[in-house]
A and B are shown apart, each in its own frame.
Chain A
Amino acid sequence: MTTIFGVPAAALYGQILIGLINGSFYALLSLGLAVIFGLLNVINFAHGALYMLGAFTAWLGLQYFGLNYWAALVVVPIVVGLFGIVIERLALRRISGLDPLYGLLLTFGLTLVIEGLFRYWYGSSGQPYAPPPQLTGGVNLGFMFLPIYRGWVVIASVIVCFATWYVIERTRLGAYLRAATENPALVKAFGINVPLLITLTYAGGVALAGFAGVLAAPIYQVSPLMGSNLIIVVFAVVVVGGMGSILGAIVTGYLLGVLEGLTKVFYPPASAIVIFVVMAVVLLVRPAGLFGRGD
């Protein structure tokens, strides 16, 4: 059996793959958090709950409306985005301009309500969600066995992250978003409808979480607490990448996912905390984050 640094190669590749998959979710979720924080100054604690809502919407859609996986990938982000519009219009808008702590508390409360409702309705145990038939099975890459669905998750997340980056950094709408993040009052004075932009940004950010939820459904069990397990790590990712940095959130998401996977191979006991160790070090050395502008 081949080994690398005394570790079986297959185990190493396997953990790197798992790291990339976890990293895919970190990237999708921290990207939305970073965009939302940049424009709204809201630390969206509900992001994990909305990711869970995405997974549940896919599951419910399949159970009750025969909504297949591919349709869910399109429909669920829209549903979660619409829910985001309601949250922004009814709640977040009322606390805009206040200390970010208020937004954090509000979205934390929202998280408790959403997760509590799903626990009440569906219990804490997970619901299985089968991957679509086109993506079942696996391929032998020679050096490792790759389950097709897992490869798909990585590809899909890279595509969506890149598309989001492109919209923000290369389009007119993205220029509005970047400018409003810097100086909303002046952007308004130019005649741009910033309140609408804020609503759309929140909706877009949480739609990414909903999309991640659909991707996750066939891998993890669809359960009310699936988001709360993830969100703390994702916050650490955002802190490491730098609040409000788009590219930083994406790159850091994948890097930390892989780092976590590697730690699992070389020193398993540390794998659960390695991301937080990195966060602590980054906060000490570069408080604005690896990609943060820092002012």
Chain B
Amino acid sequence: MAARPLLEVRDLEAWYGESHVLHGVTLSVGEGETVTLIGRNGAGKTTTLRAIVGILRKRKGVIRLGDRDLMALAAHRVARAGLGYVPEERGIFASLNVEENLLLPPHVADGGMSVEDIYRLFPNLLERRKSPGTKLSGGEQQMLAIARILRTGARVLLLDEPTEGLAPVIVQRIGEVIRTLKSLGYTILLVEQNFRFAAKLADRFYVMEDGKVIDGFRADELSAKSEVLHAYLGV
């Protein structure tokens, strides 16, 4: 791998109450890289992201961003290290209108997109900016969930299944957005079940199963790996 690892996770374990869910996750994402985490339902992908951003506090292991130790930070300081998080459930706030949702996450670094840039990238949001956030369609909510972290200046994005449950045209649109972000040099850790979608975007892949990363490969190894992959994903 040419790029130096920006986000580094080593031997990460995590628990929901008494239930031990992650059993030593190790992965890294280089600066400017797009890395996809795949695996069956319940493998622990969402949990991995929740542990990285510090929503899930009962965890052990190493999480580093650049030279910052994220494990040592209070939950509300992790984003300030330069992390942007798009949760699986999207997390659009019903009591905030679209624009308030967009403006909610505070700046964490210089160089974030301006509100004008964002509305140019997502014209729908401009039209609906005074509607309650949860009145948007699923696709628009997903766009909003991505848009609001682009404002903050975070350069490392964690995206949890951005295409889940969306119509093919919207999936395509989100693909374009992620490609744009990639070309702008963002570092992206993408969780995806939609392997065909991820295959077109990612530089590298990790496969998760039962709370562990069990395999990893580069995009150019994809065809050679396709058989094992089918076995992993059960498709």
Contact = CB atoms under 8 A, between A and B. Distances in A.
Contact of B95 (A172, A182, A188, A191): A182
Contacts of A190: 79, 85, 104-106, 149, 152
Interface string A80-96: 00000000000000000
A183 B96 contact: no
Contacts of A195: 76
B214 interface: no
Interface in B96-130: 96, 100, 103-106, 108
Contact of B55 (A176, A179, A181, A189): A189
Interface in A136-170: none
Contacts of A187: 104
A28 interface: no
A189 B85 contact: yes
A176 B105 CA distance: 9
B166 interface: no
A176 B101 CA distance: 10
B54 A179 contact: no
A194 interface: yes
B77 A186 contact: no
A175 B99 CA distance: 11
B229 interface: no
B103 A189 contact: no
Given A186-B87, A190-B105, A179 B76 contact: no
A178 B78 CA distance: 21
B59 to A, nearest CB: 14
A64 B178 CA distance: 67
Q: How large is the interface on B (under 10, 10 to 19, 20 to 34, 35 or more residues)?
A: 20 to 34
A185 interface: yes
Judged by DSSP, the binding face of B is loop
B94 interface: yes
Nearest to A186: B91
A175 B94 CA distance: 11
Nearest to B52: A189
A63 interface: no
Contacts of B91: 183, 186
B93 interface: yes
B116 to A, nearest CB: 19
A194 B74 CA distance: 11
Contacts of A71: none
Nearest to A295: B94
B103 A188 contact: no
Given A182-B95, A186-B55, A191-B80, A175 B103 contact: yes
A7 interface: no
28 contacts: A172-B103, A175-B96, A175-B103, A175-B104, A176-B104, A179-B93, A182-B93, A182-B94, A183-B91, A183-B93, A186-B87, A188-B55, A189-B75, A189-B78, A189-B87, A190-B79, A190-B85, A190-B106, A190-B149, A190-B152, A191-B76, A191-B78, A191-B79, A191-B106, A192-B104, A192-B105, A192-B106, A194-B75
Interface of A: 172, 175-176, 178-179, 181-183, 185-195
Which 5 pairs show the lowest CB-CB distances between chains A and B?
A: A191-B79, A190-B105, A178-B95, A188-B75, A188-B76
